[in-house]
Amino acid sequence: MAEVLLSARSVSRRYGRLTALAPFDLELCSGESVALVGPNGAGKSTLLSLLAGSLRASEGQISITGAAKVGWLPQRPSHYGRLTARENLILFARLENVGDPERRTTELLERFSLPSDRASAHLSVGNRQRLSLAIALLGDPNVLLLDEPTASLDPKQRARMWQEAGRHVAEGGAVLFSSQNPEEVERHATRVIALDSGRLAFSGGPAEYVVWEREP
């Protein structure tokens, strides 16, 4: 049986009177690739931010099992534009207390084929997204949270992104990704969660999701 890496119990988030996410339960196990779908404003980014620890929950509890770590790729590229890819990676590695920041940085720069000497603001959109993913992977996380990771990428870059996500799952990690692309959901998800207006609308396998989505 797969190990539960991350669980959320009745987690919710309100902004004043507005409920961005109604109480929500989730378990994420090793080897899983879970797709989070729903229209804009459904609460996907809110849920990912809550699970990443960037946003405080109004209610409920989020538990991370044992020594499991969480990596997060926000929707927009997240790094310092005036620093190079190498400088960004070294800075975040030091902030995350990674054992050997220089070695880990070199490893990730090579793995993601990132130019190390150019200010990251001058990198292509694909390279900037990959740099953000490299930052998410710095601490060698078990759980990877990806917020619309391929939204602004061309097909080739998308393939590289899914290759990295697949590699993570294959190594025993878990991926929770949000997407607006049904084709990607069908191809890369082992489970699908649909949200609508901050509430759970569907939870099941990709094939069931396709049927559910086609229902009027």
Partner 1 sequence: MRTLRAAALLTYKDLVSLRRAPLVVILLACYPLLIAGLVGLVAGYANARPRVAVVDLDHIPPTTKIAGHKYHIKAAIDEVAKNVRISWMSKPAADQALRTGSIVGVITIPQGFLTDLKSVVHSPTLEFETAQGGISSRVTQQMQALVYNLNLKLQGAFIKDAIRYISLIQRGGKANFLGSSYNVLGIQKARALLLKEKGNATAIEVARFLDTAEGALRASQVSASAVAQPIKLSVETRQGRSWLFSAQMQAYALALTIAILALALAAAVTASERDENVACLLGRGLVSKLSLLLAKVALATVVSLVVGAGILLAFGAIVDIGGITGGQPWGRIPLVLGGVILFGAALGAIGTLIGALAREGRSATLGALLVALPIVLLGLVPREIVPPAGIVSDFLPFSHGQRFFGSALYDLHPWATVGPEALWLLGLLILWGAVARLVLPRLTEG
Q: How many residues does the chain have?
A: 216
Q: What are phi and psi of 189, to 5 degrees?
A: -100, 145
Of the ranges 28-36, 93-101, 162-170, 192-200, which one interacts with partner 1 (CB under 8 A)? 93-101
The count of C-alpha atoms lying within 13 angstroms of the C-alpha of 169, restricted to the half-sphere facing its C-beta, is 21
Which of residues 23, 38, 43, 77 is near partner 1 by CB under 8 A?
77
Partners of 174 in beta bridges? 143
Element (H, E) at 182: helix 182-188
Closest Cα to residue 169, out of 60, 34, 27? 34
Calculate the CA 184 to chain-centre distance. 14
53 binds partner 1 (CB under 8 A): yes
56 binds partner 1 (CB under 8 A): yes
Least CB distance from residue 91 to partner 1, whole Å?
6
86 binds partner 1 (CB under 8 A): no
92 binds partner 1 (CB under 8 A): yes
96 binds partner 1 (CB under 8 A): yes
Which of residues 24, 72, 177, 209 is near partner 1 by CB under 8 A?
72
> What residue type is assigned to position 35 of the chain?
A
Provide the mask over 157-196, with x wherever binding to partner 1 is found by CB under 8 A and - wherever it is not: ----------------------------------------
Element (H, E) at 213: helix 206-214
Residues that bind partner 1 (CB under 8 A): 49, 52-56, 72, 74, 76-83, 87, 91-92, 94-96, 119, 135
